[in-house]
Structure 1
Amino acid sequence: MDYLTFLLAILHVYKALCEEMFWDTTVKLAKNMTLECVYPSADTLTQMEWFKINATEKESIVIFNPYYGVMIRKPYVDRVYFFNSTMTPNDMTLSFHNASEADVGFYSCFLHTFPHGPWEKVIRVVPSDSFETAVPSNSRIVSEPGKNITLTCQLQMKWPLQQVMWEKIQPHQIDLLTSCNLSQGRSYTSKYRRRILSNCSQGMRRASIVMPYVTASDSGLYRCRFKASTGENETFVMRLTITDGETDNRYILFVAGGTVLLLLFVILITTVIVILHKRGKRRQQSVLVKESWDTQNKAANNYRSPMFTNQPPDDAREDIYVNYPTFSRRPKIRV
């Protein structure tokens, strides 16, 4: 077998493996990425190991034992570390430094537990441009912490239903919560970090999941996907918001304080407008009174009598009187 034939055979095997492999989480490739693996049960962890699943074999990345510690394989030294294993024994989340296109592929988080035995979660890492973007939500559900929440979606299409899947969508990853194969009547519960209850029965037209005792970490987008035997698909997206009592109180105080400030601002603006309006009105009245007074004065000056204007001054009249010639009385002559 020549090199080209061997390469084609490897690619064919890898493609078939990818098509048949069932993964629990899809993660978007990033320079610093995290592969989440949290064992949801309270069993005792005896040992765990991370693998990268290649076309023909599993490549060991790191192995952890509660008594002997951590051993990282050579190709991954200084590139990976456990995110939270020292604080939470069942949290085997693996973080990558300086990840590249070579890190795209499938990964396995394999745990040995007591008393339930082996447990495995499969994660698929895809290039950032291949990571699907969530569509806007069709509905919204708001609840308080500690409640049991039921998410339900109703099938609209009339074709025979083959599969129903529930997923939680985040900006960097998509987690499979549950998958129901109606043609076989089997339900698969994913290796999600919290308990999920679901219904799965042949002929059903409505799908639902139940999350007991929700917390703030359960908030987010949830997607229900129907797949018909004819290949048709139908999708519903809903947003779940878990509120916090303290947050609600702060929000109420914030809204109330904003309302009071807005009311005070409106009162202040109204007062300023009224004061300016009154001042303008007074100024206008003052101008009108002044103009009326000036008009009356001008009219009085125009209609004053002219006889006083042509008379000489008082001192001139006095001179005329003084210089006026006097005549002596003629004496009588007696005969």
Structure 2
Amino acid sequence: MHQPPKQFPEMDYLTFLLAILHVHKALCEETFWDTTIKFAENMTLECMYPSVDITQVEWFKIHDVQKSIGLLHPIYGVVIHEPYDKKLHLLNSTTAPNTVILSFYNASETDVGTYSCSFLTYTHGTWKKTIRVVQSDSFETDAPLNYHIVSESGKNVTLNCQLQMDGLVHQVTWEKIQPYQIDLLTCCNLSQGRSYTSKYPRQILSNCSQGSRSSWLLIPNATTSDSGLYRCRFSARSGENETFVAKLTITDGKADSQYLLFVAGGVVLLFVVAIVIIIVISCNRRRRRQKSTPFKESWDTKSKAANNYRSPFSITQPMEDTREDIYVNYPTFSRRPKPRV
């Protein structure tokens, strides 16, 4: 007898659908680290929220699950959970009221991992930043330089990179590299034309268009603090990537004018010293000449007197006689034999 197909309960359909959505979200959602910090025994993790309407701030360490480390409330103060209460401080920045600092002292390898700070605000809800702590050498040593840009303070600076490799590229990212820290500036999904909102505290502009093979980064009103290394990286789903590194140097106009004045002053000083040296040498030469002239005149007088005394010829002898050859005959003396005794 033919039996009708088995009907699944409505609850099973809902569970299956939620499972598919969870897997799809896990595959499509990418994890971004806003900042990567070099591990050190004394290290500092910093989060800066764009505005100051903060209700509270909580720090978490992410390892499979999210575990609370500490809480900072503007009224009730600071609470740090064990075992972190013996190795870190949680405090507000003294210079920026919207910045919270997690400071480690005597950290160990167990503190390597991923952290996040969560700001609860009045108007914008929850704002999060993810920080990764890794064991590494200086981050700048792994960044070979492609080109160098020098600009003045206060001007807009644009960095560019052009994709060279063939094939489809999944995303392009821009990062600022420092010896102890790497900050994510922008991240663009080229297959969807969608960008990730970075938690970098500085305003940065960049293009993000689907299928683009070039990227630019605009730093408005650049200051000396924007100087450093900037890395542009194209990444493909196959694992291939192409990287460009640019060095940016922002000069201060005041420093440049002071440097020019210093150089000009040095040139003038060298010119004055050269003139003084020339004058001193000239004076020394004059003194030597004055000392040597009387001695030479007395020597000439003495030599002339000696010649007049010894000369057998008259001074008034005609000049024609002096042109004649003078032959001197030396007499020969005969040798007489010695008498014998």
TM-score, normalising length: structure 2: 0.72
Contact map agreement 1:43 1:116 (CA 8 A) in 2: no
Are residues 1:143 and 2:149 paired?
no
The 5 Å alignment of 1:33-182 reads 33-39=43-49, 41-42=50-51, 44-54=53-63, 56-82=64-90, 84-129=92-137, 131=139, 133=141, 134-136=143-145, 138-145=147-154, 147-182=155-190
| Distance verdict in 2 for CA 1:209–1:131, change over 3 Å | closer
AA paired with 2:200?
Y
Contact map agreement 2:39 2:133 (CA 8 A) in 1: yes
Match of residue 269 from structure 1: 277
The 5 Å alignment of 1:154-233 reads 154-228=162-236, 231-233=239-241
| Distance verdict in 2 for CA 1:297–1:197, change over 3 Å | same
Greater shift, 186-195 or 86-95, is seen at 86-95
Are residues 1:27 and 2:37 paired?
yes
CA displacement 1:242-277 (0-9 Å, x = unmatched): 343433332232222222222223333333444445
Counterpart Cα distance in 2 of 1:180 and 1:74: 39
Match of residue 9 from structure 2: none
Contact map agreement 1:198 1:209 (CA 8 A) in 2: yes
The 5 Å alignment of 1:241-256 reads 241-256=249-264
Three-state SS of the structure 2 residue aligned to 1:36 is strand
| Distance verdict in 2 for CA 1:131–1:222, change over 3 Å | closer
Counterpart Cα distance in 2 of 1:284 and 1:136: 67
| Distance verdict in 2 for CA 1:226–1:290, change over 3 Å | farther
Match of residue 317 from structure 1: none
Counterpart Cα distance in 1 of 2:176 and 2:292: 70
Who wins on radius of gyration, i.e. which is larger? 1
AA paired with 2:179?
P
Deviation at 1:154, TM superposition (A): 2.8
Deviation at 1:284, TM superposition (A): 6.2
Counterpart Cα distance in 2 of 1:254 and 1:28: 39
Counterpart Cα distance in 2 of 1:48 and 1:202: 36
Deviation at 1:199, TM superposition (A): 0.6
Match of residue 329 from structure 2: none
AA paired with 1:188?
Y
| Distance verdict in 2 for CA 1:237–1:132, change over 3 Å | closer
Count of residues in Structure 1 that have an aligned counterpart in Structure 2: 284
Greater shift, 286-295 or 104-113, is seen at 286-295
Deviation at 1:190, TM superposition (A): 1.7
Q: RMSD value over aligned CA atoms?
A: 3.0
Contact map agreement 1:45 1:111 (CA 8 A) in 2: yes
Contact map agreement 1:161 1:226 (CA 8 A) in 2: yes
AA paired with 1:47?
Q
| Distance verdict in 2 for CA 1:228–1:53, change over 3 Å | closer
Contact map agreement 1:223 1:238 (CA 8 A) in 2: yes
AA paired with 1:91?
T
| Structure 1: gaps spanning 5 or more residues | 1-15, 306-335
Contact map agreement 1:149 1:211 (CA 8 A) in 2: yes
| Structure 2: gaps spanning 5 or more residues | 1-25, 314-341
TM-score, normalising length: structure 1: 0.73
Contact map agreement 1:169 1:221 (CA 8 A) in 2: yes
| Distance verdict in 2 for CA 1:154–1:66, change over 3 Å | same
Question: Sequence identity, in percent?
Answer: 54
| Distance verdict in 2 for CA 1:241–1:283, change over 3 Å | same
Deviation at 1:217, TM superposition (A): 2.4
Three-state SS of the structure 2 residue aligned to 1:161 is coil
AA paired with 1:259?
V
Greater shift, 161-170 or 250-259, is seen at 250-259
